Amino acid sequence: MTKTKVTIFDYGVGNLHSISKALELSGAKVSIATTIDEVLKAKAIVLPGVGEFGAVMKAMGPKKKLLTERLEEGVPALGICIGFQVMFDTSEESKGRGLELMNGRVLKFKDVRIPHMGWNTVNTTRAGAKDPIMRSIPKISYFYFANSYAPMSKSKDGIVLAESDYGRNFPSVMRKANTYGTQFHPEKSSRFGLRLIKNFVSFAAKEAIY
């Protein structure tokens, strides 16, 4: 059986072992890309969850709009934590623009301890219950978070598939076209996190653009 090819974009800011291992356990053939040109050729993309908004966008360079176009075309993608946040227009963490795939702003948590570190509930929405990424995951489940910022609770663009609360309500899983974003780290979230990654790999196998 041919394995699904998934490319992780290495921004040069973190250890990719955990997400690589989780993808491999889920049946993916994993490659690491260090340039955006490699990412643009990928059949399925993962934007990993370590880094800072401005640094990640700098790593993408002047071709970031080409990546947005590729995502809008429907290449399967999964953005984790910062990889999710850079899909939005802007962030309080850094100046400059994100990928602008999803309309909205990433905001810093206020009046709570930061970073938001550890297990928290993820509540699947009605839309999420019908989406393949949340298949076999309970409506209320626990995932592992490590973040000081999160997207605003309401966006004019993208479908909210799950929500969480930490001082305020925020989307913890979203989708636009074939691009998913999770604010938590599925690769650190035990069996339900691995299930979500398996769901993504299965989805990518069906939707990959060749």
**185 given a catalytic annotation:** yes
Query: Is 17 one of the catalytic residues?
Result: no
Would you tell me how many other CB atoms lie within 10 Å of the CB of residue 172? 28
Asked if 93 is an active-site residue, the reply is no
What whole-number distance in Å separates Cα of residue 187 and Cα of residue 171? Answer: 18
Q: Looking at this protein, which amino acid is placed at residue 57?
A: M
Integer Cα distance of 80 and 173 in angstroms:
9
Strand pairing category for 169-176 and 179-182: antiparallel
C-alpha closest to that of 21 among 209, 187, 191: 187
Q: Which of 38, 52, 69, 81 is catalytic?
A: 81
Cite the active site residues.
Answer: 81, 185, 187
